[in-house]
Structure formats: C-alpha cells, structure tokens
Amino acid sequence: MEIEMEGVDHLASERSKAQFDVEEMKVVWAGSRHALEVSDRISRLVASDPAFQKDNRSRLSRKELFKNTLKKAAHAWKRIIELRLSEEESSRLRFYVDEPAFTDLHWGMFVPAIKGQGTEEQLQKWLPLAYKMQIIGCYAQTELGHGSNVQGLETTATFDPQTDEFILHSPTLTSSKWWPGGLGKVSTHAVVYARLITDGQDYGVNGFIVQLRSLDDHLPLPGITVGDIGMKFGSGAYNTMDNGVLRFDHVRIPRDQMLMRVSQVTREGNFVQSNVPRQLVYGTMVYVRQTIVADASCALSRAVCIATRYSAIRRQFGSQNGGDETQVIDYKTQQSRLFPLLASAYAFRFVGEWLKWLYTDVTQRLQANDFSTLPEAHACTAGLKSLTTSATADGIEECRKLCGGHGYLCSSGLPELFAVYIPACTYEGDNIVLLLQVARSLMKTVSQLGSGKKPVGTTAYMGRVEQLMQCHCAVQRAEDWLKPSVILEAFEARSARMSVACAQSLANFANPEEGFLELSADLIEAAVAHCQLIVVSKFIEKLQQDIPGKGVKEQLEILCNIYALFLLHKHLGDFLKTGCISPKQASLANDQLRSLYSQVRPNAIALVDAFNYTDHFLGSVLGRYDGNVYPKLYEEAWKDPLNDSVVPDGYQEYIRPMLKQQLRNARL
C-alpha cells in the first residue's frame, strides 16, 4: 500500500487543491510577518532539541513526570539566557515547549499581579528578582471553600501596629489556599489574597507578597504548611503542574509587602484609598482573559488540524469495483461537524487579536484617567473567555470523536490536549458565573436606554434597539445569507430581543435579585447571544481590512459565513422564537451552509497547514504533516511498556492458574 511508504507526503494531492496562497494565510494567522518569523524560528528550535521531547509523557509516573517538567523548564530558561531571547521570543518558546509548568503562573499571573497592583517602589524591588527568576512566584487566591466568590475568601491579614507587620492566618480548613499552580512544590513566593483587617475592621480582600520557602534549602518557612493537592484528570496532561495547598499559622510579613497601588495601610494602621482608582485591578483581568481567548484559538486549531488531516487520510466504505474507499472528509456528516470547528478556530483567533487591541486601548485610557469603557470591556472579556473556552473544550472532544477509535489513543494527542485544556472552563472565572456577569451588564444597558445614556463598545447596537425590535430579515434566496449586513442584523436583532425579553421578565419581580436568580438560565442564553454577536462582528470587521494574497480573503469569507450560519443553525430556536427570521429563511440558511462546506472541502488541508504547527508541537500520530499515519500508529504501539516482555508480569501467579483450573492452589 502506498500509505505505508516512508518519506512520502500522503497529503500532497490534498495540498495541490488549495485555491489560495497558503504562505499569506500563515501571515494572517500569525498576525504579522514578524510574528510568523518568530513563531516559525522558535517552534523549529524547540522541535529540534531532544531535551524538549514529549512523546513519553503519558507513560511516566507522577514523580517522573514532574521532575521531567522541572528539567524542561530549567533547560528552557537556560536557552532563553544563552540565546538572549526577547520577551516575545521567550513567551513563544514556553508556548512551543507545550507543557503546563510553574513558569506559566510565574509569568502569567505573579508578575502581572505585581505590575498591576504594586507601587513604583514595589515594582523596583520585586520585578528585577522575578524577571531573573531569582524568586519564583504564584497567584494564591482560590481557597478550598471559595473560588468564584472572591469576596467570600477567609484567609486573614491582620495589621499589628506594634511591629508594623501583617499577620497572615488560615482560621478554618476551608480557608486553605487550594489550586494555585506552582504552589505545591516550586514557588518561593506568592501573591496571596486575604481579608485585610486593621483596628478591628475588615476592609475586604487585598493582595500581599509573601515568601513561602527558604531561598537556601527550599524548606517552607515557619508557620507555613504547603504541598501538592494530588493527581488530576488524564494521563500526563495537567499533572505536570504542582497545583498546591497552603495554610498560614500566624505568619508575619512587613507592612510594605501589601500591594499598595490602590489602597494602603499607614504606619499607624489607618486604611487609606490611594488616588489611583480601584478599577485598575480590572486592567490586569482584561489582560489575563485576553490571553485565555488567544489560547482557545491555539488549542482548538491544534485539535482541528489533527482531525482534518486524519479525515483526509482515513478511508471507509464506498469502494466500487475494487477501487479506493471514500475519504472520511468527503462525507457531509464529517464536514458538518469538522468545518464549523475549523471556522471557529479562525473566528477565535481574530476576536483574540481584537481583544489585544482592546487591552491596549483600555490601558491607555486608564493612564489618562478615562474609565468610561472599562465596565463594558470587563464584561466583554468575561463573556468571550466563557464562550471561547467552552466551545474549545467541546470542540477538542468532538475532534476526538471525528477521529473514530484511533482518536482515543494517547498517541493521537487528543486525550491529553483535552485533559490539559478543560480547566480553562473553570480557572480565571467559572464560565457560567462569567456569563451571569455579562447578563447583569446587559440588563443595566437595557435599563439605561431611556435615560439618553448611549451604549458603548460591543453594546453600541443596543442604541438601535427600537429598530432591531421591529426589523424583518430580507433574505429571499440562499445566497442572500452571504451578505455581511444580513448576518449582522440577524445576530443583533436576536441578541437585542433576548436581552429586552429578559429585562421585561425581570420587571415583573418585586425583588430584582430574586428575579435574577429565577431567570438565570434565560439570562445566560441572552449573554451567549451577545457574545456570539461580538465574535461574528469582529470576524466581519477583519474581512474589511486589506488582506493580501491570492484567494486568502475569499477563504476567510467562506469561514466567516460558515461560523455565522452554523451558529444560526445551532441556535435556530432563538432566531425563530424572537421572530428574527422565518422558517423558510432558516431553511435557506441551511442550504447555503451545505454549499459552503463544499467550497471549503478542497482547501481544508491548506487551511490547517496555515496554522504552521510542527509535528513536535502537535504531538499526534494522526495529525502528522506527511499523513503517514498507519505505520506510525503501529510503531507507537510497540513502545508501550506492556510490550517490553512477550509474556506479561503476573502470568505465573494469575493467568496460568486460571487456564490450568488451579485457582484453588494459586496464591491470590
């Protein structure tokens, strides 16, 4: 069989079908030529370094796995120093090493928390140590008893004016810090969130920089109990991370280790709000959530790349006169599940790019004391974090199923990718809780419509609510659904009508909070509709830019239409119930969607090639660039430790007595 030949590109014929410039699409995906060059160079650097090998992860014990991660993190830091990599290059290197590690929390949470909430003096003291990794930090907020409800945290930080110190204490079992990555075994320091108490008064939750372990022998400091919380979901996967538990027994720290950019405690013990607005804390949150949305597009695109390449290699049924069977990717059932995920990966990429811009815009406004766009930006990033991570987690699992039985093998790369990714639905805000925050923001926007206050940012369409409540979809033919204005109006009308309906239902409750609890399921659906509108509108905005390269823009238009019309099909009840479209128009949308799948089909392999992932990064036998799947699957099977011996350990004790009817005599 040709498929078993080494050194042959079994997907070459698929690549030859591409109707667009793949190299230019790589630039679009990367964001710029510079970003593509950096990603390309760093990904190859990682792939060619034996120290970053990762194909045995799922076979290691927890201790071996963790030590292996420490080794890789140390080697990565060594390479960063040796090659004098920039911050951008260092970040790419950690990304392509592709292993959850304490460094993720050090750079992704500890450093941004200090930068966002520390004073100039604190930045000068702590950041040089953190940048050189002379200290390693984590972010200790979540507790055993409280996660989403940050105001319910129980750890206390009580000011002692006699010694000019804070006393950190864990008064209950449920006040134990629980889950922070890097805390369990590695971090020397943490930004700890605790209830600030001074002069007998509780001033709510504040951040404190606390040393946890000795910088000489790494032992926990007096009064500190710290360890790992145990194995987590999956083989390998997130078990490379030392998620930890932390308890304080009257641990004293100097007063100046309270993060004091927003509020301070004076030497006398007086609590003082600084002239820096409290909303600045949201700036850090917008940054972190923006990176999570970007990560969603990366994780989903990996899964889609694996499933698309394998779907083109796998053949099943349809053989006529002894000829080849049909490629699985040619079945409409496969296309209708796979291509919307391909479109989603691109959609999330572009909304992630826009969020990057939004973070920069918000930061500049904050520095100019302009807080007008912050509440909307906060709600928007919360909603997009929820929408993209939920869709990505579901999408990775769908890609596993699209690969049939082989997708269940660890060597497919999909089980581990799923296990590594799914915590994103919970960390940095539980996805349902975040959608409720979006819903609150939407209800506030609707309630202010009559006051003359214009909605801003992604809620600006609400300013046309009267028109959107009345408009009728103009679609008469299937191809009318290809008009961006038609798609946008349908999504805006759906979102506006669902939000207004929720607001009207809420008005029937004497107690608004009771109403909010009672209607929470409806409110979440309204929030999802709003967030999906944002993603669709940002995809359409992307297409209005100058996009070079033969056929590139046309392919992106097809993907944008697939994303929008698939959502319309999936949430058809919303569009019909709110009267945005008629059943006939819904049927035409479905006809158009099928046609779009046929247009994507010859370009599918080239569209996933544009992600520019190395085989090392994909970590999948099924997703190999050359499509040489079956010999590699066979080869991989023999690497399993069970195959180290022909006769298994335990044969003499358990299998032989059974076969020989000697179980009564066996020593079980």
Burial class (CB in 10 A: 0-12, 13-18, 19+), 357: exposed
CA distance 342 to 335: 10
What would the two tokens of residue 601 be? 């089909």
Integer Rg of the chain from CA: 27
Torsion of CA 65, 67, 71, 77, to 10 degrees: 100
CA distance 340 to 304: 10
For 369, phi then psi, to 5°, come to 60, 35
Q: For residue 325, give the DSSP letter.
A: P
Helix (H, G, I), strand (E, B) or coil at 202: strand
Q: Which amino acid is at 279?
A: Q
CA distance 114 to 109: 9
The residues assigned a catalytic role are 428
| Neighbouring C-beta atoms of residue 281, cutoff 10 Å | 16
The closest alpha carbon to 244, from 160, 332, 312, 176, belongs to 176
Pairing type for strands 137-140 and 189-198 reads: parallel
Tokens 């691109």 correspond to what residue?
346
What would the two tokens of residue 18 be? 């591409």
CA distance 105 to 103: 5
CA distance 182 to 110: 10
- Quick one: which H or E segment has residue 140? strand 137-140
- Alpha-carbon distance values, 514 to 500, 503, 507 (Å): 18, 13, 11
CA quadruple 573, 575, 581, 585: dihedral positive or negative? negative
CA distance 666 to 523: 63
CA quadruple 287, 290, 296, 297: dihedral positive or negative? negative
CA distance 314 to 633: 13
The closest alpha carbon to 111, from 138, 89, 85, belongs to 138
Buried b (16+ CB within 10 A) or exposed e, 496-535: bbbbbbbbeebeeeeeeeebbeebeeebbbbbbbbbbbbb
| Neighbouring C-beta atoms of residue 227, cutoff 10 Å | 14
Q: Which amino acid is at 564?
A: A
Buried b (16+ CB within 10 A) or exposed e, 438-462: bbebbbebbeebeeeeebeebbebb
| Neighbouring C-beta atoms of residue 651, cutoff 10 Å | 13
- Cα angle: 387, vertex 388, 394; to 5 degrees: 95
CA distance 411 to 414: 8
The closest alpha carbon to 633, from 645, 642, 641, 624, belongs to 624
- Alpha-carbon distance values, 129 to 114, 118, 120, 137, 210 (Å): 12, 14, 15, 10, 14
